[in-house]
Amino acid sequence: MSEVTLDFSHSSASAEDLEKYKEKTIEARKILLDGTGAGNEYLGWLRLPVEYDRKEFARIKAAAGKIRGDSEAFVVIGIGGSYLGAHAAIEFLSGTVKHPGVPDIYYTGNNFSTDSIISIIEAIGDRDFSVNVISKSGTTTETAIAFRIFKKKLEEKYGKEGAADRIFATTDAKKGALKAMADEKGYTTFTIPDDIGGRYSVLSAVGLLPIAVSGADIDVLMQGAAKMMEICAGKEFEENPALQYAAYRHFMTDLKKTVEVLCIYNPSMGSFSDWWRQLYGESEGKDGKGLFPACVTYSTDLHSVGQFIQEGSRIMFETILYAENSNNRIIIEADEENADGLNYLAGKTLAFVNKCALKGTAEAHEAGGTPGILIRFSKKNEFTLGQLFYFFEFACGISGYMLGVNPFDQPGVEFYKKNMFRLLGKPGFEE
Ligand code: PA5
C-alpha cells in the first residue's frame, strides 16, 4: 500500500473535475514508461530503485563507514540537483536517525558567498574532515571554486596523499575535469549515470553517499522508492497518487492558477521543499509555461505571507505535505495560574495543535480562493522518504509531458553562466 495518500477535502475539485484529466495522465504515463517522449535519454531514474548498481551501493556504504570513522566534519560540495536531494533527506530524517559517530555535515559549492565559505571553514576548525565533491559535468563554477578551496585545506592538513584519501568525487563515469582530476590524484569516485539528470539523481550515488554518512538506512530508502515505483507504474488512476497529483496541478493550471505553494508544518522538511522546488521549477518552467513553485513553512509563514495567501492576488493553490503520525513527545501541561489562558489545551500534544492549525488554515485558504491538496504520509522515516522522492519525480515527469515540455532538460540555466563568464573574462566568452 502507498504510504503517500492525497486528500482533496480542501481542493475545490470534485471527482468529476479530476476525472477530466484522467485520460491525459494515463497517456503521459505511457509516454514516460515507454520512453517515447522528449528527453527520453534521461530516464535512468525510472527503474533506479530496483535496477541500481549493487557493487557501487556496497562501495557507498563502505565509504560512508570510513568517513564516519575518521571525520568529525563532512563537506558536501555541489549545486542544484547535485546536493539538494541529500540535503533534503538528511534534514528530513534528522531526529529520526540515531547513529554513533555521525560527523557534522556542511553544504557548500552552491553559491559564491564568501561569508558562507568562511563560516564553514571556521566551523570545521581543527577537526578532522572529509569532502564529497559532486558534479556531473565536473565544471560547474560554484562547485569547482569551493572544491579548490577545501582541497587546499585538506592538502595543508593531511598532505597530498592524505587529502586524496579524504576526497570522494561523484561525477561522470568518463568525462569532465573532475573525473580527470580524480583519476590523476587517486580519489575514490562514484558514478552519476549518463541517463540521470541532476534533479532526478537523489537515489544515485549523488544523494546516497551523503545520506549514508548521516547514518540513514539507504537500503530502506531504496525499498520505499521501489514500492512507490510499483504503485506509480501499475496502479489505476483512482489508486495512483502521482496521476492524481498531476491531474490536480493541471486542473489548477486551467483555472489560471500560476503558483503552486508547497506548505510544510515541520521546518525539518524545509530542504525537502527546496528539492521539490528545483524538481518542478527546472522541469516545467520553459517555453513560457509552468507553475511557479513556491515554498512556505507553516505556521511560521502564516505570520508573514499568510495575509497574501488568504486575500492577495488569487494566483495560487497549495500542496500541503504532512506526516500523519507526528512526534507526540511534547504534551501541554496545566498551569495553576493559567495567566496565559492556555489551560484549555492541557493534556493535548503540540502535534495536535499543529494539526488543528493545518486544518484551520486549509479551510480558511480554500474559502479565500486558495484551494489545496493534502499529501499525507504515515511518518518521517527512510521508507516514506523513498516513497516521497519517487512519487514527486514520477508525477513531475507526467506533469511535464501533459504540459507539452521536455521535463528533463534545463536550457535556460545556461544564460546567466554565459554573461557571468564574459564578465569574469573566461577565455572563449569575450565580448
Ligand atoms: O538538475 C540539474 O541538472 C542541475 O541542477 C545540476 O544538478 C546542477 O546544475 C549541477 O550540475 P553539475 O552536477 O554538472 O555540477
Q: Compute, in angstroms, the gap from residue 296 CA to the centroid of ligand 1.
A: 24
Does residue 61 have an active-site annotation? no
Tens of pLDDT, residue by residue over 69-79, are: 999 999 999 99
Rounded to an integer, what distance in angstroms lies between the CA atom of residue 293 and that of residue 304? 18
Q: 93-139, pLDDT tens digit by residue?
A: 987 766 778 999 999 999 999 999 999 999 999 999 999 999 998 89
b/e 297-321 (16+ beta carbons within 10 angstroms → b): bbeebbeeebeebeeeeeebbbbbb
Is any ligand 1 atom within 6 A of the Cβ of residue 199? yes
303 is catalytic: yes
Q: What is the pTM of this model?
A: 0.97
Between the CA of 365 and the centroid of ligand 1 the distance, in Å, is 35
Question: Residue 326 — very low, low, confident or very high, per pLDDT cuts 50/70/90?
Answer: confident
Q: Which residue out of 303, 336, 414, 430 is catalytically annotated?
A: 303
Regarding the beta carbon of 132 and ligand 1, being less than 6 Å apart is answered no
C-beta of 137 in contact with ligand 1 (< 6 A): yes
How far is the C-alpha of 296 from the C-alpha of 314, rounded, in Å?
A: 17
* Ligand 1 centroid from CA 250, angstroms: 27
Closest residue by Cα to residue 118 from 149, 147, 152: 149
Give ∠ CA 130-133-135 in degrees, rounded to 5: 170
- Distance from C-alpha of 137 to C-alpha of 236, rounded to nearest angstrom: 38
CA 14 – ligand 1 centroid, Å: 39
Q: What strands, in cross-sheet order, belong to the sheet with 316-323?
A: 4-7, 372-377, 316-323, 259-264, 292-297
Residue 110 Cβ < 6 Å to ligand 1: no
pLDDT (0 to 100) of residue 327: 82
> pLDDT digit string (tens) for 375-426?
999 999 999 999 999 999 999 999 999 999 999 999 999 899 999 999 999 9
Let me know if 152 is a catalytic residue: no
Which residue minimizes the CA distance to atom 2 of ligand 1? 198
